[in-house]
Amino acid sequence: MSSYDPRTGAALEAPPESTPDEVDDTVAAAVAAAEELAAASPGQRAGWLTAIADALSANIGILAEKADEETALGLPRLTGECGRAADTIRFYASVVREGGWLGATIDHGSPDLRRVNVSLGPVAVFGAGNFPFGFGVLGHDTATALAAGCPVVAKAHPAHPRLSVALAELAERALDEAAAPAGSLGLVGGFAAGSRLVGHPGIRAVAFTGSQRGGLALWRQAAERDDVIPVFAEMGTVNTAVVTPAAAGSFDENGFVASFTLGMGQFCTKPGLLLAPAGAGIPQRVAAALTDKSPQGWLLTEQIATTYREGVRGLEKVGGRVLTRTAAASGGWEAQPVVLAVTPAELRESPTLLDEVFGPVALVAEYANRAELDEVLEILPGSLATAVHAAEDDPDLPGLVERLSRTSGRVVVNGWPTGVAVGWAQQHGGPWPATTSPAHTSVGAAALQRFLRPVTFQNAPDAALPPPLRAANPWRIPRRVDGDGER
Amino acid sequence: MSSYDPRTGAALEAPPESTPDEVDDTVAAAVAAAEELAAASPGQRAGWLTAIADALSANIGILAEKADEETALGLPRLTGECGRAADTIRFYASVVREGGWLGATIDHGSPDLRRVNVSLGPVAVFGAGNFPFGFGVLGHDTATALAAGCPVVAKAHPAHPRLSVALAELAERALDEAAAPAGSLGLVGGFAAGSRLVGHPGIRAVAFTGSQRGGLALWRQAAERDDVIPVFAEMGTVNTAVVTPAAAGSFDENGFVASFTLGMGQFCTKPGLLLAPAGAGIPQRVAAALTDKSPQGWLLTEQIATTYREGVRGLEKVGGRVLTRTAAASGGWEAQPVVLAVTPAELRESPTLLDEVFGPVALVAEYANRAELDEVLEILPGSLATAVHAAEDDPDLPGLVERLSRTSGRVVVNGWPTGVAVGWAQQHGGPWPATTSPAHTSVGAAALQRFLRPVTFQNAPDAALPPPLRAANPWRIPRRVDGDGER
């Protein structure tokens, strides 16, 4: 593999790519671990997750430094992200313990039917470049796959291969000390290794976070297998924020600039399009706020930096007019933050304006009236998140929230979508092409469901049932019995 | 379209195929109904479903006769199936009322997150030939889509187009009288119409029950759309039944014959492969039972009859030895029931022996010991259901139930998979290639989930939230609040 310092473009020493035999051995170890992991009780799985979380917590400083060398995202951000990743894994441990994810359901009668979610088997995890901890080797996908009783084979991310190796080693040690099955977590590196992984008969599902191009390529590859497996790809698109006429005066342009430039705009939840009522000077206010703020930083890889420059040029070519373009950092994978003005008519006529450009760029369009706003909302692609900025008791709010919910997985009121809180009620997913399925989430308690499938046992005696379905309910999990909650 | 009497092969008068404009108009009506259906309360939706169920119940006799003309499945079977279809719709009405399918989840805090399942939009339903009521125009797929708040455009099945039209007219009238939105249910007919439906931008999901060839063709077509939509195809494969050594003496060969010849073997849950311990004479007992029983009947279509004959010839060509072949009915789409002997070694060497042959044929293989049985279990394709016949306190049972659960969606103990009870705990689905996703079911309460997707609302005021997430819980549905059940 290759590794670079984004601040200078200098090459760092990088771990080697995995050979085909190494990939096969890693998958074989995962396959060998699958049965024991799938049979492990919620308490055991929670213990293993907690061991990983504790290892992360104990090494935040050294891991953040290692991540900063390869990502240039800065120590404050990376220290925070690593700590949050540990807390997130602890949250999933609590979700596993609760047991609702098993969906245990019992219908007494003739026949006696008992349904429970079982583990899919080894999961290939392709993490994201922009969240080396949150969506990295030990991020949401890995944690929820392990929580669901599935071994993980992660692919080292080309933007942070050294960190990927460090995280895998840390977790493998923690899992080993916590007596998890050998092979519960493995790592492979290199493009060819990733492709071999997705085609490997031992892999039963793929989780991906990243670009449209990457996600769709894996999705297509998996669809050509003899035994097709699900690919849960979170790819993201342009996320839209709407300002209502009543909120125009108090609209916080600094908040918008902070959101679309956060992490140098490398967020799949970046608000890339602002729809503002005409006449309140919002484009000019945003332009001034960007000038004042002038965030500087680097993009993760040379390819992202190149794609960003080309993407902004592409937006300009189809009508985007530069309102402000601020100075770049010097050297390395630098990028100039920019905000562009477009019109609703241009958005409708040039669909490429609605293609996501990864990096610190946003479009601002002014709408004359609700009809013109609705015309733009009609052509929005499916997205992870949308936002609406409204006044108190704003008459436009309920209708806009409903309208935005039709094309996105999350609707934020009077805030920005860039923060994704972890909890029971979170949804991080959205209609095609934001993700490959309309219904999955990669963040929150429901994220475990990706790696489970239901099985129903008909007239099986107690001794032949898995623990969640036995009469004594040995795991003390919530169950639906004869249509109702169990007392 | 064309319609035939399977008993004679004589053509019946058939409804015309839909023109492209008619397909577009039907989808447009569904799109127009979508918003009102999605916003309807559980009580309203349950009322509409009950209206359809009552219309079915009131017309069982005439509908069963109509179905028999085109399917030759016989009045007793069709009368029972129509009544069960009405009961099934009433069950889904009770599921809708209960509200758990909404998955309403509230996390108080900063931010305030509230997650709920919303309707996907218009669903295209491709029913099955073999269950003109259970999986027809008013079968499980239509009922659960409507329950989930999605308008349905059904495609008339080529094996029973006249019945399809009668069912759609009956339901449209019932929905209209119950004040459901116009366009909640529509029907199109003809191959080209079905293809146009799957490619139509207004259609948001496809439900299919039928052959591998048909299901995979729709799945591939949907994957080539600009906006890919999910295809929930229930296709079925060979379902395996295992007899343990301890159960060999008391094994009920008549039950096996009755199951694989039920409905002339036209069940996606037909036990197509019996694995029996060597030395108990089970192949001979099965052969004798088939001879005694000698069921006669017709297949649904000329194509199924042709495919059946070719399929049996194919099994013979790769090693299947005829144990018994009984007489066919005379005339029309007749078929000869047959049971073939194979060896475990032949099953491993000729994977085509494991291809499903739709119709009254089954394979019986004798295994010498557990190792040889396990070798066969290792190569089984994903299937909808498996069965194991065991003695009381049979030491082989728990391990076999676990093993069979790895490749199938339902494991039946001491019974046959052909009956699919409708309830909260049912699972009618299974790993690829039995269905197109490992996790969906097309029967039971969870079948609604196919047509829903989650949306999270962040910091939305009460007035901007959908009813299931409002503070007052106006629909009185079960909710998870701050990680726990709401009191």
Cβ neighbourhood burial of B378 (10 Å; 0-12, 13-18, 19+): exposed
CB contact under 8 A, B459 and A415: yes
A431 confidence band (pLDDT: 50, 70, 90): very high
CA distance A416 to A241: 8
Q: To which H or E segment does residue B232 belong?
A: strand B231-234
Contacts with A, B 419-478, CB within 8 Å: 419, 421, 423-427, 429, 431-433, 436-439, 441, 444-446, 449, 452-461, 463-466, 478
Contacts with A, B 98-117, CB within 8 Å: 98, 100, 103, 105-107, 109, 111, 113-115
Give me the mean pLDDT over the A31-59 stretch. Answer: 98
A330 confidence band (pLDDT: 50, 70, 90): confident
Contacts with B, A 337-396, CB within 8 Å: 382
CB contact A408 to B (< 8 Å): yes
**pLDDT for residue A457 is more than 90:** yes
Q: What pLDDT is attached to residue A2?
A: 95
Sheet holding B361-367, edge to edge: A484-485, A480-481, A105-107, A113-119, A452-458, B410-413, B386-389, B239-243, B271-277, B361-367, B338-342, B321-325
Q: What pLDDT is attached to residue B88?
A: 98
Give me the mean pLDDT over the A362-379 stretch. Answer: 98
Sheet holding B113-119, edge to edge: A321-325, A338-342, A361-367, A271-277, A239-243, A383-389, A408-413, B452-458, B113-119, B105-107, B480-481, B484-485
Number of inter-chain CB pairs under 8 A, A vs B:
210
Rounded to two decimals, the ipTM of the complex is 0.98
The pLDDT tens digits for A252-297 are: 999 999 999 999 999 999 999 999 999 999 999 999 999 998 889 9
Q: What pLDDT is attached to residue B485?
A: 84
Q: What pLDDT is attached to residue B279?
A: 96
Q: Chain B: give the shortest CA distance to residue A426, in Å.
A: 6
**pLDDT for residue A236 is more than 80:** yes
The pLDDT tens digits for A238-248 are: 999 999 999 99
Name residue B260's amino acid: F
Q: Is the dihedral of CA B174, B176, B178, B184 positive or negative?
A: positive
| Cβ–Cβ < 8 Å for A249, A280 | yes
**Chain B partners of A431 at a C-beta cutoff of 8 Å?**
227, 453
CB contact A319 to B (< 8 Å): no
The pLDDT tens digits for A385-426 are: 999 999 999 999 999 999 999 999 999 999 999 999 999 999
Q: What pLDDT is attached to residue A264?
A: 96
Please list the alpha-helical segments (H only) found in A8-158. 20-39, 42-58, 60-71, 75-98, 140-147
User: Which of A106, A401, A455 comes nearest B411 by C-beta?
Assistant: A455
Active site residue B234: yes
Q: What pLDDT is attached to residue A74?
A: 96
| Cβ–Cβ < 8 Å for A272, A418 | no
Q: What pLDDT is attached to residue A412?
A: 98
Residue among A433, A346, A347 at smallest CA distance from A382: A433
**Chain A partners of B114 at a C-beta cutoff of 8 Å?**
425
CA quadruple B77, B81, B141, B219: dihedral, nearest 10: 0
| Helix, coil or strand: residue A348 | helix
Whether cis (ω within 30° of 0) applies to the bond prior to A467 is: no
B330 confidence band (pLDDT: 50, 70, 90): confident
Mutate: best of B90, B203, B455, partner A, most A CBs <10 A: B455
Q: What single DSSP character describes residue B432?
A: T
| Helix, coil or strand: residue B116 | strand
Q: What single DSSP character describes residue B204?
A: -
Q: To which H or E segment does residue A218 belong?
A: helix A212-223
Give residue A149's region: left, alpha or beta (phi > 0; psi -120 to 50): left
Name residue A303's amino acid: Q
Mean pLDDT across chain B, nearest whole number?
97
Q: What pLDDT is attached to residue B76?
A: 97
Residue among A126, A125, A79, A70 at smallest CA distance from A301: A70
Q: Look-up: residue for tokens 């993407």?
A: A311
The total of other beta-carbon atoms located within 10 Å of residue B373's CB is 24
Q: What single DSSP character describes residue A14?
A: -
Closest CA in chain B for residue A399:
B464
Whether cis (ω within 30° of 0) applies to the bond prior to A111 is: yes
CA distance B34 to B39: 9
Q: Which of these is catalytic: B234, B253, B356, B372?
A: B234
Q: What pLDDT is attached to residue B387?
A: 98
| Cβ–Cβ < 8 Å for A429, A442 | yes
Q: What single DSSP character describes residue A451?
A: G
Contacts for A329 with CB less than 8 Å, ≥ 6 apart: A7, A296, A297, A298, A335
CA distance B157 to B164: 7
Catalytic residues of A: 234, 268
Q: Chain A: give the shortest CA distance to residue B126, in Å.
A: 20
Q: Which of B383-397, B405-419, B473-487 has the lowest mean pLDDT?
A: B473-487
| Helix, coil or strand: residue B126 | strand
Q: What pLDDT is attached to residue A85?
A: 98
Structure tokens at A438: 């309309």
| Cβ–Cβ < 8 Å for A243, A251 | yes
| Cβ–Cβ < 8 Å for A242, A386 | yes
The pLDDT tens digits for A375-393 are: 999 999 999 999 999 999 9
Q: How far is CA A137 from the centre of its chain?
A: 12
Q: How far is CA A126 from the centre of its chain?
A: 11
Residue among A450, A469, A426, A467 at smallest CA distance from A42: A467
The pLDDT tens digits for A87-140 are: 999 999 999 999 999 999 999 999 999 999 999 999 999 999 999 999 999 999
Q: What pLDDT is attached to residue B427?
A: 98
| Cβ–Cβ < 8 Å for B155, B188 | yes
Backbone angles phi, psi at B364, to 5 degrees: -125, 130
The pLDDT tens digits for B358-384 are: 999 999 999 999 999 999 999 999 999
Backbone angles phi, psi at A338, to 5 degrees: -150, 145
Q: What pLDDT is attached to residue A485?
A: 85
DSSP B24-89: HHHHHHHHHHHHHHHH--HHHHHHHHHHHHHHHHHTHHHHHHHHHHHH---HHHHHHHHHHHHHHH
Name residue B188's amino acid: V
Backbone angles phi, psi at B94, to 5 degrees: -70, -35
**pLDDT for residue A487 is more than 80:** no
Give residue A411's region: left, alpha or beta (phi > 0; psi -120 to 50): beta
| Cβ–Cβ < 8 Å for B181, B33 | yes
Q: What pLDDT is attached to residue A480?
A: 97
CA distance B452 to A208: 22
Contacts for A276 with CB less than 8 Å, ≥ 6 apart: A243, A248, A251, A282, A283, A364, A365, A366, A367
Please list the alpha-helical segments (H only) found in A359-486. 370-379, 397-405
CA distance A288 to B252: 83
Cβ neighbourhood burial of B474 (10 Å; 0-12, 13-18, 19+): exposed
Q: What pLDDT is attached to residue B198?
A: 98
CB contact under 8 A, A460 and B401: yes
Give me the mean pLDDT over the B391-400 stretch. Answer: 98
Bridge-based pairing of strands B361-367 and B386-389 is unpaired
CB contact B401 to A (< 8 Å): yes
**pLDDT for residue A329 is more than 90:** no
The pLDDT tens digits for B422-480 are: 999 999 999 999 999 999 999 999 999 999 999 999 999 999 999 999 999 999 999 99
Backbone angles phi, psi at A31, to 5 degrees: -60, -40
The pLDDT tens digits for B149-176 are: 999 999 999 999 999 999 999 999 999 9
CA distance A445 to A428: 11
Contacts for A153 with CB less than 8 Å, ≥ 6 apart: A26, A27, A30, A122, A123, A124, A125, A185, A186, A187, A188, A197, A203
Structure tokens at B178: 């119950």
Q: How far is CA A62 from the centre of its chain?
A: 24
Q: To which H or E segment does residue A456 belong?
A: strand A452-458
**pLDDT for residue A486 is more than 90:** no
CA distance A358 to A185: 30
Q: To which H or E segment does residue A195 belong?
A: helix A191-199
